Every structure is written in structure tokens, then in C-alpha cells.
Amino acid sequence: MVESAEEIYQRALRAADTQGRLPMPPVGEWDTFPFEGDIRTRPLTPPTEADRPRTGEDPADCWRCQQGTSDAIWSDERWFVSPLPKPSGLPVVAILYPRAHHDLGDMPRHLVAELGPLIQRIERAIVSLGEIGRVHVCRWGDGSAHFHMWFMARTARLPQTVGSLAAIWDDILPPLPENLWRETLADLARRLAATGGTSHL
């Protein structure tokens, strides 16, 4: 049994101030927290009737199915890896997609069985680029309905960028120079293709 949005909202309001703001967590103690100064939580907004539909809930409207593998750096018969459209702050950000339109819950068993080994291959390929401290493997699925798994690598020896806030540091650190970004992606594609599939770069 899980609380409804209304139940959580009412419980949160009881803990909030008169403006509906919840107390701040102790971010001043978090070395990884990217911001400092006088900040506060946003007032909690009430529950909505329903979640906003994700893009591509109907496969006929799925941007990823329409785009296909045109931006892929690597693919095999059933999967492909694409970068973000432009450089960002972390040394490698790559996204794994199945070619066919599935979400995790409706993915056929043969694809699910391939997913684990593929996650390990991609992580190993990214780590082998060097200077990588950790590869965060994330499934955030609120934007697009087409299954996608993030691989967000952080640089070794930059202790502020450890942990889940690496995703925020990706927006704060200056974007990689374009040529370095392309070279890194090409290197990653070659390393992935060394254990199967095809590099597109």
C-alpha cells in the first residue's frame, strides 16, 4: 500500500511553512551540492489529475522511432547507443535504446536477457577510455516512452562530482570542446564494436 498524491501532499503541507515550503535538507554539509548561498525549497504544488503523457506513448508518434539510428555511434541488430545532441560537462554521456519500441515493463524477454550483459559492456568500454572515476547507469523515464538508459561518466579525482548530483554538474561544468567530444565518442564506438556490433563513427 502506497500513499496517494493527495495523502503525501496533505502530509507534506503539515510539515511546510505558511507558503507551502518544506524545510531545506542539510545541503551545506554535502560536498557534492553544486550551489551555495541563500536558497530555499519551492512551494509544493498540488497533485494533478494525471501525469503528463510522455512523448511517444503512441509508437506512431515516437520521436525516437522516427529518428531511428541516424544519430547512433554504435548499434547491433537490436540495440543502439546515441550521444546527447551536443557536448555537455561530463566526459561521456551516452544513451542506450532498443531499436524496437518498448518500455521496460513490456520489453520481450530476449531483450531483457541481453540488457544486463550490454550494460556491463558499455560500462567497461567507457571506463577503458581512461580518467573515468565512475559510470552512473540511470533509467529516468519521464520524458520519452521509448526505453532508454543513461550512462553518465564522471571524471576521476573530481570529488565534488561523485554521486547522483553528477547529473547536475553535467549542466554546470563547461561543455567539452566539440572536437574532443567527437573524438571521445568515436573512441567509445570503436571500443564497443570490439566486442560486437558496429561503430557508426
> 37: phi > 0 → left, psi -120 to 50 → alpha, else beta; which?
left
SS3 content of the chain, % helix, strand, coil (to 5): 35, 15, 50
Listed residue (48, 57, 50, 51) closest to 144, CA to CA:
57
- Closest residue to Zn ion, judged by C-beta, is 62
Q: What is the spatial distance between Cα 152 and Cα 16, in angstroms, rounded to a whole number?
A: 34
Tell the smallest beta-carbon distance from residue 42 to Zn ion (Å): 32
By CB under 5 A, tell whether 64 contacts Zn ion.
yes
Tell the smallest beta-carbon distance from residue 85 to Zn ion (Å): 17
Strands 79-83 and 92-98: antiparallel
Tell the smallest beta-carbon distance from residue 140 to Zn ion (Å): 16
Look up residue 156 and give its DSSP letter.
T
In terms of CB distance, is 80 or 181 closer to Zn ion? 80
Q: Which of 13, 16, 44, 65 binds Zn ion (CB under 5 A)?
A: 65
In terms of CB distance, is 32 or 55 closer to Zn ion? 55
Q: Which of 13, 16, 62, 119 binds Zn ion (CB under 5 A)?
A: 62
In terms of CB distance, is 41 or 55 closer to Zn ion? 55
Tell the smallest beta-carbon distance from residue 63 to Zn ion (Å): 8
By CB under 5 A, tell whether 13 contacts Zn ion.
no
Stretch that binds Zn ion, among 6-14, 37-45, 63-71, 166-174 (CB under 5 A): 63-71
**Interface pattern 123-162 for Zn ion (x via CB under 5 A):** -----------------------x----------------
3-state secondary structure of 1: coil
Tell the smallest beta-carbon distance from residue 62 to Zn ion (Å): 3
**Interface pattern 73-112 for Zn ion (x via CB under 5 A):** ----------------------------x-----------
Q: What is the spatial distance between Cα 13 and Cα 7, in angstroms, rounded to a whole number?
A: 10
Q: What angle do CA 174, 177, 179 make, to 5 degrees?
A: 160
Give yes or no for a contact between 153 and 93, defined as CB atoms under 8 angstroms apart.
yes
Burial of 40 (0-12, 13-18, 19+ CB in 10 A): exposed
Where along the sequence are the contacts to Zn ion (CB under 5 A)? 62, 64-65, 101, 146
